Amino acid sequence: MSNRIANAFKQKAFVAFLTAGDPTIEKSEEYIGRLIEGGADVIEIGIPFSDPIAEGPVIQAANIRSLRAGCDLNKIFTLTENVRKKYPDTAIVFLTYLNPVFKYGADEFFKKCAEIGTDGIIVPDMPFEEKNEIAAPAKKYGIEIISLIAPTSEDRIKQIAESAEGYIYIVSSMGVTGMRSEIKTDIGSIVEAVRKYSDRPAAVGFGINKPEQAQKFSALADGVIVGSAIVKMIEQYGENAGDALYEYAKQMKEACLSAGK
C-alpha cells in the first residue's frame, strides 16, 4: 500500500472529492488546498468526462462546467503536480472513466500519474472482471487501483476484497452518487465481510454529506468519502467557495475523529 494512503488511514480518514476544472483549474488547486488545510486526508480528483455514468446530477453538472471551461488531462496533471509539491504527505487519487485513460494511452497515463505523485485510481465504469485492462501499467508505475464494493453477495465481496489495493471504497447505496438524507444499507455487515478477506482500510461513500453521517459511518469503517456535498458547495459559491470548503472539511474531519474515540 502507498505510504501516503496507509498514513491517511492511521486514524479515521476524511476523503474529499472534487471535479478538476470546476469552476476553473486555478480554483480547483486553491480548493484542494483549503480542503487539505481543513482536514482532508485523501483528495480524490475527478477527471471530467462527457458521460459519467456513476454520477448523479450534481457531479454530472460539474463535469459539463469543467469541460466547457476547457479543462483537459494535461491541465489536471499540472494541477496535481502543483498540489503534490505543496502537500507532499496528502494521498491523491484520480477518479476517472476508462475512456480518458485509453485515449491518452494507458502506459503513458500511469507513467504520468507516477511522475506527478498520484497514489491511486478509481474507475467506476470498469467491472472487477475487467481490471486486467489497466492492472499491468498501473502496477508497473506503482499506482493502486481502488476497488468499489456495493451492497452485494458475500462471494462477490470476497472476490473483490481479496485483491484490493490502496483502500476499499464501500458504496453505501445502489444507484448514482448524490447526497442522501438517510442511508438504509447495512454498512456494518458489508464492512465486516470486507474485513474477513482484506486488511485494506475501508471508507464509505455515496450519499454522505452531514457530520452526523460522517461520525456514524466512520465508527463502522475506517473513514468516509464525500463528493456531491463538496461539488454542490462549489456550484453554490463558485469562485468564492474556499472558506466554506475549509469549514466543511474541518467539521467532517472532527466528526470522523470523534467516531474513533
DSSP per-residue letters across the chain? --HHHHHHTSS-EEEEEEETTSS-HHHHHHHHHHHHHHT-SEEEEEPP-S--TT--HHHHHHHHHHHHTT--HHHHHHHHHHHHHH-TTSEEEEE--HHHHHHH-HHHHHHHHHHHT--EEE-TTS-GGGTHHHHHHHHHTTPEEPPEE-S--HHHHHHHHHT--S-EEEE-SSSS----S---S-HHHHHHHHHHH--S-EEEESS--SHHHHHHHHHHSSEEEE-HHHHHHHHHHGGG-HHHHHHHHHHHHHHHHHHT-
> Does residue 12 or residue 178 have the better pLDDT?
12
| Per-residue pLDDT at 180 | 43
Question: What pLDDT sits at residue 182?
Answer: 46
pLDDT of residue 174: 56
Indicate the range of 22-26, 180-184, 204-208 predicted with least confidence.
180-184
Residues of the chain above pLDDT 90, percent:
83
Report whether pLDDT(260) > 80. no
Is the whole model's pTM more than 0.75, yes or no? yes
Lowest mean pLDDT among 12-16, 170-174, 215-219, 243-247: 170-174
Q: Is the pLDDT of residue 183 over 50?
A: no
* Range 238-257 average pLDDT: 98
Give the per-residue pLDDT at 53.
75
- pLDDT given at position 200: 97
CATH domain 3-145+221-259 topology: TIM Barrel (3.20.20)
| pLDDT number for residue 2 | 78
Q: What is the pLDDT of residues 54-76, one digit of tens each?
A: 788 899 999 999 999 999 999 99
Does the pLDDT of residue 186 top 90, yes or no?
no
